[in-house]
Amino acid sequence: MKMLVRANPQDFVSFLTQETYYEGDVANELIIRSVDADFLCHATKNAQDIIVHAEYQRRRDKNMARRLWEYNVATSFLTKLPVLSFAIYLWKEQNIATSPYRIEIDGELVHLFYYKNIFLWEETPERLLQPSFAGLLPLLPLLKGAKRTRDETIGNMVEGLRTAGKDDILALGYAFAGLVYRTEDDKEWLKRRFAMFHEILEDSWSYQEMVQKGLDVGLQKGLDQGLQQGLQKGLDQGIKQGELMAAHSFLARIIEKHFPPLLPLALRKAERLKTVDALNSVIDKLLEAKTVEQAREALEEDAQ
> Which range among 20-34, 175-189, 239-253 shows the weakest confidence by mean pLDDT?
239-253
Specify which of 101-105, 174-178, 191-195, 270-274 reaches the highest per-range mean pLDDT. Answer: 101-105
Domains defined for the chain, CATH in brackets: 2-122 (3.40.1350), 125-203 (no CATH), 208-302 (no CATH)
pLDDT band at residue 217 under the 50/70/90 scheme: low
Sign for the pseudo-dihedral over CA of 297, 300, 302, 304 = negative
More confident residue, 178 or 206: 178
First to last CA, the chain: 47
Integer Cα distance of 32 and 116 in angstroms: 22
Give the model's pLDDT for residue 55.
95
pTM of the entire predicted model? 0.66
- pLDDT (tens digit, 9 = 90+) per residue, 56-96? 998 878 889 999 999 999 999 999 999 999 999 998 888 89
Give the model's pLDDT for residue 158.
92
Residue 210 has pLDDT above 90, yes or no: no
Mean pLDDT of 4-17: 94
> Which range among 16-20, 74-78, 138-142, 261-265 shows the weakest confidence by mean pLDDT?
261-265
Integer Cα distance of 211 and 216 in angstroms: 9
Give the model's pLDDT for residue 163.
93
Mean pLDDT of 239-263: 76
Mean pLDDT of 27-47: 86
Give the model's pLDDT for residue 171.
87
More confident residue, 54 or 199: 54
Give the model's pLDDT for residue 227.
45
Percentage, residues of the chain above pLDDT 90: 45
Q: Spell out where the chain has E strands.
A: 20-25, 39-45, 48-57, 83-89, 101-105, 108-113, 116-119
More confident residue, 135 or 253: 135
Give the model's pLDDT for residue 110.
95
Give the model's pLDDT for residue 160.
94
Give the model's pLDDT for residue 112.
96
- pLDDT (tens digit, 9 = 90+) per residue, 111-140? 999 999 999 999 999 999 998 999 999 999
More confident residue, 139 or 213: 139
Give which of 47, 36, 42 is closest to 2, Cα–Cα.
36
Integer Cα distance of 213 and 226 in angstroms: 7
Whether 128 and 139 have beta carbons less than 8 Å apart is answered as: yes
Residue 148 has pLDDT above 50, yes or no: yes
